[in-house]
Amino acid sequence: MSFRHPDESRDPVRLSLDPGSFWIKSRTWMTGKNNDGRRIIIIMKYTSKSEKETQKIASDFAKQLKGGEVLCLMGDLGAGKTAFTKGLAKGLGVKNIITSPTFVLMKVYETREHKNIKILKQGKEKFSPPYQGGVRGGCRDLPPKQLVHIDAYRLTDGEALKQIGALEYFNDKNCVTVIEWADRVKNIWPSGAIKIKFKILEGDKREISL
C-alpha to C-alpha distances, 188 to 107, 157, 165, nearest whole angstrom: 18, 8, 12
Please name which of 132, 95, 118, 116 lies closest in space to residue 23, comparing C-alpha atoms.
116
DSSP string, 154-168: T-SSSHHHHHTTGGG
Structure-model confidence comparison of residues 26 and 75, the more confident one? 75
Q: Is residue 202 part of a domain?
A: yes
Q: Which domain does 118 fall in, by range?
A: 47-209
Residue 34 counted as domain residue: no
Is residue 101 reached through a cis peptide bond, with omega within 30 degrees of 0 on the bond before it? no
| Digit-coded pLDDT (tens) for 93-128 | 998 999 999 999 999 999 865 566 655 444 333 333
Indicate if the alpha-carbon torsion angle 3, 91, 49, 78 is positive or negative: negative
Domain assignment present for 39: no
- The 10s digit of each residue's pLDDT in 178-201 is 999 999 999 999 999 999 999 999
Q: Is residue 9 a part of any domain in this protein? A: no
pLDDT digits 0-9 by tens, 126-154: 333 333 443 434 444 433 389 999 999 99
Residue 31 maps to a domain: no
| pLDDT tens, position by position, 57-97 | 999 999 889 899 999 999 999 999 999 999 999 999 998 99
CATH code of residue 179: 3.40.50.300
Please check whether residue 23 lies inside any domain of the structure.
Answer: no
Number of domains in the chain: 1
Give the H or E element holding residue 85.
helix 81-91
Q: What's 127-148 look like in SS3?
A: CCCCCCCCCCCCCCCCCCCEEE
The answer to whether position 88 is within a domain reads yes
- CB under 8 Å to 128, separation ≥6 — which residues? 137, 138, 140, 141
pLDDT of residue 64: 87
- Ranking 37-46, 138-147, 157-166 by mean pLDDT, the lowest is 138-147
- Kindly state whether residue 134 falls inside one of the protein's structural domains: yes
How far apart are alpha carbons 8 and 200 in whole angstroms? 30
How many angstroms separate the CA atoms of 207 and 210, rounded? 10
